[in-house]
Amino acid sequence: MNIFSLDTLSIAKNLLGYTFIHESVEGKTAGIIVETEAYLQDDPACHAYRKKSVRNAPMFGKAGTIYVYQIYGMHFCVNISTNQEDIGEAVLIRALEPTEGLDLMEERRLKHSKLTQMKPKDLCSGPGKLVQAMGINKNMNDWHILDSGLKIIPPKIQIADSDIITTVRIGITQGADLPYRFYIKENKFVSKL
């Protein structure tokens, strides 16, 4: 059964453990999704809370549509749209545990900052970081994941419910008390505890 047939909160939770892959011309990078957040239609923190606009349109696309937006004038975040068309919901990918192409990830990350070295932990431990490391850009906005060079592969063994921590989301002021953030227990690659 397809993960995208579930409701948004279930998708956000079930996406933990999936491998996120980007095959680009520069090479392949991949990592395990260890942290996600859900953004729902009736949720004041959701970009699609009020109405459909040019910016949030991909959130209203069919499940699997990529939504890339710029934040704080300098960083980008990736989401995967969920639910049926015309429902503005999505899951934000917040952190990956890098598994493949670590050298390429580091090269990309260093190019975006003034640092000269980077630990594996700093490669993808945040929404803006993983976008850099994975070579994701605004061009991919509104593409469908099947046509984007991006892939998600289910884990061999589903992450146990007892290994999933649920908390409030990071960096928002509206809907700050909603428990829509999920991460893998004791995983050191999550952005924050």
Partner DNA sequence: CGTAAGATGAAG
Partner DNA sequence: TTCATCTTACGG
- The residues of the shown chain that bind DNA, judged by CB under 7 A, are 37, 39, 45-48, 50, 53-56, 59, 67, 70-75, 77, 79, 90, 92, 109, 112-115, 122, 126-129, 169-174, 191
Q: How far is the CB of 46 from DNA (least distance, A)?
A: 5
Strand partners, 19: 32, 153
Q: How far is the CB of 36 from DNA (least distance, A)?
A: 10
Q: How far is the CB of 162 from DNA (least distance, A)?
A: 26
The residues, ordered by sequence, that sit 6+ positions from 91 with a Cβ below 8 Å of its Cβ are 8, 11, 12, 15, 36, 37, 38, 39, 79, 80, 82
Q: Are strands 27-39 and 66-71 parallel, antiparallel or unpaired?
A: unpaired
Q: Residue 6 and residue 32: Cα distance in Å, rounded? A: 20
Task: Identify whether the C-beta of residue 123 lies closer than 8 Å to the C-beta of residue 66.
Answer: no
Q: How far is the CB of 67 from DNA (least distance, A)?
A: 7
Specify the residue, 71 or 153, whose C-beta has the smaller distance to DNA.
71
Characterise 131 by phi-psi region: left (phi > 0), alpha (psi -120 to 50), beta (else): alpha
Specify the residue, 73 or 156, whose C-beta has the smaller distance to DNA.
73
Specify the residue, 8 or 14, whose C-beta has the smaller distance to DNA.
8
The DSSP H or E segment spanning 6 is none
Specify the residue, 44 or 155, whose C-beta has the smaller distance to DNA.
44
Helix (H, G, I), strand (E, B) or coil at 121: helix
Q: How far is the CB of 154 from DNA (least distance, A)?
A: 22
